[in-house]
Amino acid sequence: MIGRARQFITAAILTLGLAGEAAAIDLNDWNSVVAEAKGQTVYFNAWGGAENINAYIRWAGDEMKARYGVTVVHVKLDDTAKAVATVVAEKSAGKDHDGAVDLVWINGENFAAMKREGLLFSPDWATKLPNWIYVDHETKPTVLTDFTIVTEGLESPWGGAKLVFFYDSARTPTSELPNSAADLLKWAEANPGRFSYPQPPDFTGSSFLKQVLTELIHDKTKLQMPVDEATFAADAAPLFAYLDKLTRLLWREGKAYPQNYPDMKQKFADGELDIIFAFNPAEASAAIANGELPGSVRSFVFSGGTLGNTHFVAIPYNASAKAGALLFANFLLSPEAQLHKQDPKIWGDPTVLSLAKLPAAERQAFEALDLGVATLGPDQLGPALAEPHPDWMTRIEAEWTRRYGAAN
């Protein structure tokens, strides 16, 4: 539970499963983790909507098999909430061992729900992984706080995220680019039908709603706390007043929406949309490198800031292959895996590691990495706006569906 006292252990001894099981693992003896994991199959539940990410996961799984004898099966999801629902159902049925989910790609409201319901392997394991020593938890506070929820070592950081917009410089003049949500509305008025966003509760679409809410809400401190139902209508009024004006200006007049980010990206490539966005600063460069977008595509952000967060992997309390999941989580944190992931020709997902903590050879490899022609440098990304408390995403998604859902 979020409010319950944190459990402490001595000598970093973590029990594999519930108290009373015979098998245990000592994270001070990593060789024992490796030995326990050999021969296990890790069912990794992760979004499967982008082929470059799927390819990266296949690469990581191949490495796990070759190095450690661990098989990784990518269970492709279109919504992480489905993995959460699986664990909820298993707990309700009393299936406290041999669960179907061994590792899950997660953050935000899904992590909050699993933590609240006691569905995560605990206590603190993430900060005891051998590769944690390289994690930048000093200047990247979101590796320790997930959408305002303290992680307490219940999930291991995998990558960084920052909301970035894209345009094709061959057809949209740089001078016309919007610099805020308010500017975007004016741009849409001048360019009707040329902007849209994935239909919530798709994560990318919901993130656009949060970006607008964060910019327009009168008291931003409220976003760092759970929703107050007594004041929600007034607090969210600027967002929905904005969307009332924007919806008729969207692609297909808001009567239909892109299904997800890949669908939105394809519409951009096909010339149906002029501005799109993603939660990865290197996404445009990766798409150019993969031949999905033309070389004239470039990135931009709002000078007042865009949302930033970290995405993680977590182990359910009843996972069947906890040792294998721990080993895989540690591999995903390795400088080698993080470097491969940050390459825009592979994925382009930003690292969670501190370059200053890396050995010289690995640090130089990161510094030499070509992030791509459309990738903004760290000094060009602008401020990172804090993610709202998970309650806000759940609440505004429901209200959005009531007001603007495609069926309406």
Residue 14 lies in a domain: no
Residue 191 lies in a domain: yes
59 and 132 co-located in one domain: yes
Helix residue ranges, H only, 144-282: 181-190, 203-216, 232-247, 261-269
Q: Which domain holds residue 195?
A: 164-308+384-404
Q: What is the pLDDT of residue 290?
A: 87
pLDDT band at 55 (very low <50, low <70, confident <90, very high): very high
142 and 181 co-located in one domain: no
Of 18 and 402, which is predicted with more confidence? 402
Q: What is the pLDDT of residue 381?
A: 87
pLDDT band at 141 (very low <50, low <70, confident <90, very high): confident
Q: What is the pLDDT of residue 16?
A: 40
The mean per-residue pLDDT over the stretch 200-228 comes to 96
| Per-residue pLDDT at 77 exceeds 80 | yes
pLDDT band at 224 (very low <50, low <70, confident <90, very high): very high
Residue 25 lies in a domain: no
- Pairwise CA distance, residues 184 & 138, whole Å: 34
- What is this structure's pTM? 0.82
Residue 323 lies in a domain: yes
155 and 46 co-located in one domain: yes
Q: What is the pLDDT of residue 344?
A: 87
The mean per-residue pLDDT over the stretch 346-365 comes to 94
Strand-strand pairing, 145-146 and 71-77: unpaired
Burial of residue 408, with CB atoms counted within 10 A of its CB: 0-12 exposed, 13-18 middle, 19 or more buried: exposed
Q: What is the pLDDT of residues 147-163, one digit of tens each?
A: 999 999 999 999 999 99
The mean per-residue pLDDT over the stretch 262-266 comes to 96
Q: What is the pLDDT of residues 272-329, one digit of tens each?
A: 999 999 999 999 998 998 899 999 999 999 999 999 999 999 999 999 999 999 999 9
pLDDT band at 406 (very low <50, low <70, confident <90, very high): low
301 and 168 co-located in one domain: yes
CB-side neighbour CA atoms (13 Å) of 297: 30
What mean pLDDT, rounded, does the chain reach? 91
199 and 87 co-located in one domain: no
Instruction: Please choose, from the candidates 323, 313, 320, 318, the residue with its C-alpha nearest in 3D space to the C-alpha of residue 14.
Output: 323
Q: What is the pLDDT of residues 2-13, one digit of tens each?
A: 232 223 222 333
346 and 302 co-located in one domain: no
246 and 266 co-located in one domain: yes
What are the CA-CA distances from residue 289 to residues 134, 282, 283, 367, 374 (Å)? 29, 11, 10, 19, 10
| CB distance 163 to 279 below 8 Å | yes
Q: What is the pLDDT of residue 13?
A: 35
Residue 19 lies in a domain: no
| Per-residue pLDDT at 354 exceeds 60 | yes
The strands making up 297-300's β-sheet, listed across from edge to edge, are 275-278, 164-168, 297-300
DSSP letters spanning 101-120: -SEEEE-HHHHHHHHHTT-B
| Per-residue pLDDT at 1 exceeds 60 | no
Residue 210 lies in a domain: yes
| Per-residue pLDDT at 389 exceeds 50 | yes
270 and 355 co-located in one domain: no
Domain tally for the chain? 2
143 and 246 co-located in one domain: no
Residue 40 lies in a domain: yes
| Per-residue pLDDT at 111 exceeds 80 | yes
| Per-residue pLDDT at 96 exceeds 60 | yes
185 and 269 co-located in one domain: yes
Q: What is the pLDDT of residue 221?
A: 95
The mean per-residue pLDDT over the stretch 330-342 comes to 97
Phi-psi group of 211: left, alpha or beta (phi > 0 → left; psi -120 to 50 → alpha; rest → beta): alpha
Residue 22 lies in a domain: no
213 and 331 co-located in one domain: no
| Per-residue pLDDT at 267 exceeds 70 | yes
Q: What is the pLDDT of residue 21?
A: 39
The mean per-residue pLDDT over the stretch 49-68 comes to 96
**Residue 109: CATH number of its domain:** 3.40.190.10
205 and 190 co-located in one domain: yes
Of 65-69, 91-95, 374-378, 387-391, which range is least confident? Answer: 374-378
